[in-house]
Structure 1
Amino acid sequence: MYGSREEQGLEPLIRVATFNVALFGQSPTEISQRLRAIDHDDQIQHVLEVLVHANPDIVLINELDYDSSGEAARLLADQLSRSLSDFAPYKAHAFPSNTGMPTGMDLIGTGSLSSPENAQGFGLFPGQYGFALLSRYDVDAVRTFQTFLWRDMPNARLPDAKAGTGLGDYYSDKALAILRLSSKNHVDAHLTVEGIGGLHVLLSHPTPPVFDGPENRNGRRNADEIRFWADYLDDADYIVDDCGGSGGLVAAKKFVILGDLNADPQTGDSVPGAIQQLLKHPRVQDPRPTGAAGSNTARFRRAMRVDYVLPSSGLSVRKSGVVWLSKNDPLARLNTASDHHLVWVDLEMMP
């Protein structure tokens, strides 16, 4: 079975994963209510089965609605901990999201200030499509970049009112003064992991590069959201976090980039070269995880690779995979838990 933790044997490994679970609702409390009634929810049961099957030590959960109390993330972590009671329990870390956060402006001319397209990130309410980190290790420091403005990225791919002009004038100056780069959030969470030491997990979920027009505003934003991490690894001095701290991640630090990055290296609607900004970065290694559908991780109009676990080049990768099961696998029903599949990488814990 692809990704079963039993395949690890007794080797001292840490499993890091990302999983877009597609647990989003029409109201801020819907997912929490569903998680409290799990016995009557087939999708959540299947999501939990996938997570139990993979048994990650650290996992980013994309598309889990955020609430200010962190209840949804905590309920999911508690359910998973009970299902894996022979292992250390998970701690949940939920992060606020720009999705559904009103801008108070008609950014794209819909005629409605409250339309989801006019929020900081597409969403019906603040926190829809958010993300959370579940970890068996304590998070001892966090940097967030939720409020960083798109226009403050040097040479940002700002969309043109008339495609191809290069003027970056699709949004008004007033709009650019408030429009954030991150459609959800960009988070650097630091953990201390036995056998590895300090480990930065870099979390995000860039906007899909679709659902726009000839200006390609979402495709351009997606590419710059991905670029942010490439610049972060270059310790770019333009980067400022939500607490006013500047700069990125210095060269000696170990990291893993996690997330549904909504960009395939070979196909799809993303800006050409968008994901290569990370895949070809000298500090990044690509384990190229595979499952029953090869390297693909999601099912849209066609199968695509959009979900990534990308360790720093100095970390020792032992195994990797995608929990995309063959149709003859006894657990093949888990393929329908989400339109995405869990991606995992096993890192060697050095003595």
Structure 2
Amino acid sequence: MALLEVDDLHVTVTTEDGPASVIDGVSLRVDAGETVCLVGESGSGKSVTAMSVLRLNPEPAFAYPRGAIRVAGVDTLRMPARQLRATRGGTVAMVFQDPTTSLNPAHRIGDQIVEAIRAHQDMSRADARRRALEVLTDVAIAEPGRRLDQYPHQLSGGMRQRVLIAMALACRPRLLIADEPTTALDVTTQARILQLLRELGAKYELALLLVTHDLGVVAQMADRVLVMYAGRIVEAAASRDLFYDPLMPYTDGLLNSRPRGVADGGGLTPIPGAPPRLGDWGAGCRFAPRCRLAEARCRTEPPALTAADGGHLRACLLDVDDVRARRLVHRQAAAR
């Protein structure tokens, strides 16, 4: 059952030069109990897509000219304000990237969690505090009773991120959206947070939409992966299929950009060039100017997102077997 369905979403933003397209026809779904990762370079539209689910992009600067976003079958783009407020934090909760800016430094941790709970549930302050203690325990914070009365600056970065996760789970949402939740953390803390998200996802039977640029995180977390580039989804597949058989050159470029060990030659193989400017996408494939496999038609014909093998979707004009063969030649040359 689809808990989240995004259908042909278009988002524009007001700039000094007028409206510019940020998201151009994105469709996706997240089923109950499923973890879907949205991955791509900075500026590809991942966070705007995620924030659009709860209309958190500031309006009227951001506008939604077309599309639908259905949470449990109800379109959030057309919800009245009161229903949208109830959905935020109730049915759907969000964990943001930087806990330092997400937590109020002037209020105790317990008071902030209690406030979030009482905003969505008819609960006394005492009961809400007990629930706050329960979720802090769930996220494995040491001495949770003492942490309730501390301020954000008294906690480490990893603890603050756990507090944000606890706050998100306090009202027992059905869908959790996490936007780069481990970017600001060291590697050890990052691994613990990811393990925590997996455990809590199973315990609370959550659907999870995880936004990240880190393919290591994707490999650990994702059931399915959606790759974004220049406002569009350009590849979508089960995690294993995407890592072992990327069928869109941009995805292959992302995989080759990962740091490799000494045994694999070390270093990075970056994608040449830079993503296009906002809305300046040209007529053909938006990745064509940076693609080592691009043909003349790639610069004039826009590729549709179509099925290749099974449920593996890709937006590419090139023949699948040709992409695989040329990918192998390129990797063999890079390994020499």
TM-score, length of structure 1 as denominator length: 0.29
Which has the larger Rg? 2
TM-score by length of 2: 0.30
Which structure has more helix as a fraction of its residues? 2
